Homo-oligomer: A and B are copies of this chain.
Amino acid sequence: MEIKLVKNILDANDRLAEDNRKVFDAAGSTVINMIGSPGSGKTSLIMRTIENLKDDCHIQVIEGDIASSIDAQAIAEKGVDALQINTEGECHLDANMIRQAVKDFKLKPGLLFIENVGNLVCPAEFEIGENHKVTVISVPEGHDKPYKYPLIFSKSAAVVLTKSDLMPYIDFDMDKFRSGIMSLNSDCKIFAVSSKTGEGLDGWIDWLKGIRG
């Protein structure tokens, strides 16, 4: 009974997500759904990406948070369009939230980053009309995460491993991390980066240039 209900909600969500996708396609937006735990470094990565890419293409950002507009304010200071969605308790963005939000937002051809609510679990289940999901996970979270939270890793086009500057201080087994992801999703790209030092950002930026419409 409960399972059926959840399935219906997800089906309804997927139909709205398809509509969103048509709107994004028509506007020439390539949409990246950024998913990761609180504090995994999603906002810092987006800000670094803006610095590196904003002379190449338009970048727009939608920030999803349960409460506060701290992130959208920080993004807007970089000189790009930023929209904040407050989910008021909901643990993920869904297609309807994005649909309502983009009504007030002038989409431009280029990259649209949608930063999901900080949560490695629930956002993985809800399509929002994106072209690609990207998992953002930090070195301090540990190399075992693909084994414990397989769904998001299996659905992501790329995984960005952030805070690589902390690698010397943490027991992080890169081979175990990589093989955990590859066993779920052998096409997945993996980028180890530090938004603090800039290390490793080139590969991520090149990948974004390749997927941009």
Residues of chain A having any CB pair with chain B under 8 Å: 5, 37-40, 65-68, 70, 89, 91, 117-122, 137-138, 140-142, 144-145, 147-151, 163, 165-166, 169-170
The contact sample of 26 A-B pairs, CB cut-off 8 A, is: A5-B5, A37-B37, A37-B38, A37-B141, A38-B141, A38-B142, A38-B149, A39-B137, A39-B138, A40-B141, A66-B150, A67-B148, A67-B150, A68-B148, A70-B147, A70-B148, A89-B151, A91-B122, A118-B121, A118-B149, A119-B119, A119-B120, A138-B140, A140-B140, A166-B166, A166-B169
**A contacts with B: majority SS:** loop
Q: Which residue of B lies closest to A147 (CB)?
A: B68
A37 to B70, CA, bound (A): 20
A138 to B91, CA, bound (A): 20
Q: Which residue of B lies closest to A121 (CB)?
A: B91
Q: 5 closest Cβ contacts across the A-B interface? A: A39-B141, A91-B121, A140-B140, A37-B37, A39-B142
Let me know if B122 and A121 touch, CB within 8 A.
Answer: yes
Q: Given A39-B142, A166-B166, verify A122-B120 contact (CB < 8 Å).
A: no
A147 to B144, CA, bound (A): 28
A34 to B118, CA, bound (A): 18
Partner of A65 from the list B39, B40, B148 (CB cut-off 8 Å) is: B148
Q: Nearest Cβ distance between residue A64 and chain B, in whole angstroms? A: 11
